[in-house]
Amino acid sequence: MNKPLRVAVVGVSTLIGEAVVDELRARKMPISEWHALDDERNIGRPVSAEEGEQTSTTLPVGDVAAFDFSRVDIAFFCGRSALSERYAEAAAAHAWVIDGSAAFRMRPDVPLVAADVNPRALDGVGTRGLIALPGSVSVALATTLAPLHALAGLERVDVATYQAVSGSGRFGVEELAGETVALLSGKQPRGRAFGRQIAFNVIPQVDVLDADGMSREERRLSQECRRVLDLPGLAVNATAVRVPVFFGHSLAVHAAFAAPFSVADAARVLQRGTGISLIAADSSTEYPTPATLAMAPDKVYVGRIRADSTRDSALNFWVVADNVRKCAAHNAVSVAHILVNRAQ
């Protein structure tokens, strides 16, 4: 990309907002000016700047409510649905708006894009407009399923997700850290962020439960994967679990397909898949875990790949990905790269 960009990061004080800023810098996007924006609670908070940016020390967080989005080419909205619902559509009249919240994911007129899976969904976006990003678990799952679907025709997915506390934001990370210290000190944990203790515990609920017992996170995962994979009839059966891990979502995936194939066939297509790293059983790593490979920011890691002995044309495997950096920030900046490169 040659043309310098004017960029705004809305929700810059969130974990995802900070990761988007880091990702923009790491990938050397040519930015002529950038604006750190948030709600009134964070106005004036310093955001570090690098040499060669508007200042070599810090940038203050500005008020998103007072910002004129005609001043930028791209605006990243980083995870807070309230900010997206209030400002994103108006901003999209002037710039590309890449929204990481759940606010617009199910709107049929808004493309839902995982850059490694369905970049062609951006073909209808002009020089400005609103683009929604799937949730982190949906990005990880769709990234691994896409090449397998091309191989054998995906028919059904049963998945259990083991989601890090960072999926609920900074408060979740602070809660796990605080509870861990309290318990190791012989004190009682507060249990505020997740309604009960999360340290040294597993909670089989992410987001609120609907009347039918399905959580909103489980429903979102099903809907988003169908949209991203362009498989409106795909059967997705999900259970979302919160685990005491700071960063890195894990998924146990059981997928059924229309055509027969071998595990070796599946391994080959996964090895060639965009954004995927397959961990072979005979490697020194053996399989991915959140505390090890998940912290590498640019891949979705797959391991424990094996045939389902109870069904024909079915596969079991394990997935790990950094939910904040790979599945959220890296995806957002990748979408921006596609838009800008196409425009030039």
The arithmetic mean of pLDDT across residues 30-44, rounded, is: 88
Q: β-pairing, 314-321 with 249-257? A: antiparallel
Looking at the fold, whether 205 and 242 belong to one and the same domain comes out as yes
Q: What percent of the chain has pLDDT over 70?
A: 94
The arithmetic mean of pLDDT across residues 177-187, rounded, is: 95
Looking at the fold, whether 129 and 161 belong to one and the same domain comes out as no
Looking at the fold, whether 40 and 83 belong to one and the same domain comes out as yes
pLDDT over threshold 70, residue 295: no
- Sign of the CA dihedral running 103, 106, 112, 114: positive
**What is the reported pLDDT for 286?**
84
Quick: pLDDT tens for 300-311: 999 999 999 999
Question: Which residue matches tokens 């900070």?
Answer: 18
pTM of the model: 0.94
Quick: pLDDT tens for 70-124: 999 999 999 689 999 999 999 999 999 999 999 999 999 999 999 999 999 999 9
**What is the reported pLDDT for 334?**
97
Looking at the fold, whether 110 and 161 belong to one and the same domain comes out as no
Domain residue limits at 223: 137-323
Quick: pLDDT tens for 219-259: 999 999 999 999 999 999 999 999 999 999 999 999 999 99
pLDDT over threshold 80, residue 143: yes
Looking at the fold, whether 248 and 307 belong to one and the same domain comes out as yes
**What is the reported pLDDT for 56?**
45
Looking at the fold, whether 55 and 186 belong to one and the same domain comes out as no
Looking at the fold, whether 284 and 199 belong to one and the same domain comes out as yes
Looking at the fold, whether 36 and 88 belong to one and the same domain comes out as yes
Looking at the fold, whether 145 and 289 belong to one and the same domain comes out as yes
Exposure letters 255-283 (e unless 16+ CB within 10 A, then b):
bbbeeebeeeebbebbeebebbbbbeeee
Q: How many domains does the chain have?
A: 2
Looking at the fold, whether 148 and 288 belong to one and the same domain comes out as yes
Decide which of 60 and 336 is more confident. Answer: 336
In angstroms, the Cα distances linking 139 to 136, 320, 329 are: 5, 11, 11
Q: Give me the residues paired with residue 37 across strands.
A: 10, 62
Decide which of 238 and 296 is more confident. Answer: 238
The arithmetic mean of pLDDT across residues 254-272, rounded, is: 97
Please give the torsion angle defined by the CA atoms of residues 332, 333, 334 and 336, in that order, rounded to the nearest 10 degrees. 100
Looking at the fold, whether 129 and 154 belong to one and the same domain comes out as no
The arithmetic mean of pLDDT across residues 249-273, rounded, is: 97
The arithmetic mean of pLDDT across residues 134-138, rounded, is: 98
**What is the reported pLDDT for 296?**
65
Helices assigned H by DSSP within the chain:
15-26, 81-91, 136-152, 170-184, 216-229, 263-272, 331-343
**What is the reported pLDDT for 151?**
98
**What is the reported pLDDT for 52?**
46
Query: Looking at this protein, which amino acid is placed at residue 87?
Result: Y
Task: Please compute, for residue 198, the number of CA atoms within 13 A of its CA located in the half-sphere on the CB side.
Answer: 28
CATH number of residue 78's parent domain: 3.40.50.720
- Cβ atoms within 10 Å of 100's Cβ, excluding its own: 29
Looking at the fold, whether 126 and 159 belong to one and the same domain comes out as no
pLDDT over threshold 90, residue 208: yes
Please provide the average confidence, as pLDDT, over all residues in the chain: 92
CATH number of residue 301's parent domain: 3.30.360.10
Decide which of 294 and 277 is more confident. Answer: 277
